[in-house]
Amino acid sequence: MVLVDDVLMFPIRSVLWIFREIHNAAQEELANESESITAELSGLYMMLETGKISEEEFAAEEKTLLDRLDRIQKPDRGLEREDGREQKQDQREERSVA
Q: Tell me if 79 is assigned to some domain.
A: no
Q: Tell me if 52 is assigned to some domain.
A: yes
Instruction: Walk along the chain (98 residues) and give the pLDDT tens digit of each residue.
Output: 677 788 888 889 999 999 999 999 999 998 899 999 999 999 999 999 999 999 999 999 999 999 998 988 886 554 444 444 445 555 555 554 44
Q: Tell me if 97 is assigned to some domain.
A: no
Q: Pick from 78, 72, 79, 80: which is nearest to 37 by CA?
A: 72
- 27 Cα distance to chain centroid: 8
pTM of the model: 0.57
| CA–CA distances in Å: residue 40 to residues 43, 60, 62, 70, 83 | 5, 13, 9, 14, 30
Domain that holds residue 22: 2-72
Q: Tell me if 47 is assigned to some domain.
A: yes
Tally of domains within the chain: 1
98 secondary structure, DSSP code: -
- Residues near 62 by beta carbon (within 8 Å), at least 6 away in sequence: 41, 44
Q: Tell me if 90 is assigned to some domain.
A: no
